[in-house]
Structure 1
């Protein structure tokens, strides 16, 4: 396989994990970060002590503070910063990024004020620059330990998707392609909302029955909004839908689930964020999803109740009661909206 030059912008947990995976495959990786203290420590130890401790990066990874030097001669630029920081970063690199350099985004969220997906932000900020979206069930902690992982790459251009697929495939990372950029982005973003709810369920001390119900009805909400925005509903049955939902709702690696647990246990949002110590994408995504649902007149009851807990200080137990007390429905008829099934 041809070795390529990859620049990873952002040395958080997932950016570091992908730098590890790409470097282990022999690719030339430059890992850029803004924090000088983190830079000096990683350069000396090859370990990201704050975000991914106990995992030593290979010699094929270089550490960068100068973003212009970091981007020089790169074939792929990996955007691995929080969603709300992506536009700011794109504006920063616009004068130096070249058209032949492919942007690959791994942030899973929606821009707060504009309600845009990251691919739409890229189009606005960088004038339709070539891009791909990399998503799927992939905890950084497991990628960094070479545990088997599957990802999906979505792009409007098939050749770009297949090129990114080739670069990121390893003996332990399997990558699929998907032309549905909208669906892959929405699945990756909106599952964080449901995972936050799954954490609340755990924090309240409810059992597996409640979590299974939340996940099942949650993926339906995601597909309902996705359908209204032009995605293929079948995408949500794949890695960026059900796959990512399962891993994020059930694992303690998930900061969205961990944050939900703390809220369910009675912590305030401020206390929760302080204890997690990292960006919890699902909190802002809940607000954006709620506003999109209202704008498009889409029924998203789970999202609405989580929004009320986060932004209107609603009691979590009362919110669960409201969900359970909704009008009766027939499940199959609701799933197959285009084809009414009669007994």
Structure 2
């Protein structure tokens, strides 16, 4: 293939592996680095043109500091595919990457992308966002195929927040299904969840239309309706009477929504943003309320107009 790129994927979990498959199927030279692997970061990164990070939120800072100690080509494009918030600073992954590498383009990849379906070669779409549009277009070319449609966007923060905030709503959606509350209840919850995501996203600097796109509404629908979603599973199993400790002991991979809920509560209190669904998910995860009480609290809120 002409214009083949050298792509390094950081993180060998389900998501990193799915992205590696997409890029290598397109004829790019792909290396996957894992903390447990035998190769060092320096060895894997030799000749890299695109570095794509698919590590969990808690691993982001370690990976960033590992890369900072190396001499990297100024041409390298960084792509972050992590959905979460930093517990220390409440920053998004792209903000951490941009602060560490201010002169490199940073691209955010986010969308309704359940990795198991992508590995099964089922059709999907995603968004790559960057303030440097040529960098987003380069990543678009590396990953696009007739099965995986990649759109570009310039609202980096909005695209990233869509993927991060929807994990909290997915926990609530899992609870709704676990309690067998029906389609009406679930539709109401997901719709009000989107309203909450937009409210937070606008407050933090994202653009409204982004949240109605693939990385917002699209990802929300996928995660709130699929047993493949780890965050949905957390809510579902809590509603079925399991404890959070039990659930996490058997969960494969990270349910980023748990940490995101904590960070979100802290930040929305500081900034006085109304986040009723997040608040009930937080209380549920803390063991302050039962799943049923959490949903009843939402139903008993003061009546008001749908839009202000």
The 2-side partners of 1:158 and 1:78 are apart by: 17
Question: Equivalent residues in 2 for 1:51-130 (5 A)?
Answer: 65-96=39-70, 97-130=72-105
Q: Quick check: 1:270 aligned with 2:245? A: yes
Q: 1:296 aligns with which of 254, 271, 274?
A: 271
TM-aligned CA deviation for residue 71 of structure 1: 0.6
Number of equivalences: 306
Q: Quick check: 1:29 aligned with 2:34? A: no
Task: State the TM-score, normalizing by the size of structure 1.
Answer: 0.87
Deviation per CA, 1:266-324, whole angstroms, max 9, x where unpaired? 21111110121321100000111112211111111000000011125322211111100
Runs of 4+ that moved beyond 4 A: none
SS in 2 for 1:31: strand
1:13 maps to which residue? 14
Question: For the Cα contact (< 8 Å) 2:13–2:253, is it kept in 1?
Answer: no
Larger radius of gyration: 1
The 2-side partners of 1:107 and 1:195 are apart by: 16
**Of 183-192 and 166-175, the range deviating more from structure 2:** 166-175
Structure 1 residue ranges without an equivalent (≥5): 37-63, 335-343
Q: 2:177 aligns with which of 198, 202, 211?
A: 202
The 2-side partners of 1:313 and 1:128 are apart by: 45
SS in 1 for 2:167: helix
TM-aligned CA deviation for residue 29 of structure 1: 0.3
SS in 2 for 1:251: coil
Task: State the TM-score, normalizing by the size of structure 2.
Answer: 0.96
The 2-side partners of 1:122 and 1:9 are apart by: 13
Question: For the Cα contact (< 8 Å) 1:122–1:128, is it kept in 2?
Answer: no
Question: Equivalent residues in 2 for 1:129-168 (5 A)?
Answer: 129-168=104-143
Question: For the Cα contact (< 8 Å) 2:74–2:103, is it kept in 1?
Answer: no
2:198 maps to which residue? 223
The 2-side partners of 1:154 and 1:218 are apart by: 23
Question: For the Cα contact (< 8 Å) 1:122–1:129, is it kept in 2?
Answer: no
The 1-side partners of 2:283 and 2:108 are apart by: 30
Deviation per CA, 1:245-286, whole angstroms, max 9, x where unpaired? 000000111011011111111211111101213211000001
Question: For the Cα contact (< 8 Å) 2:136–2:152, is it kept in 1?
Answer: yes
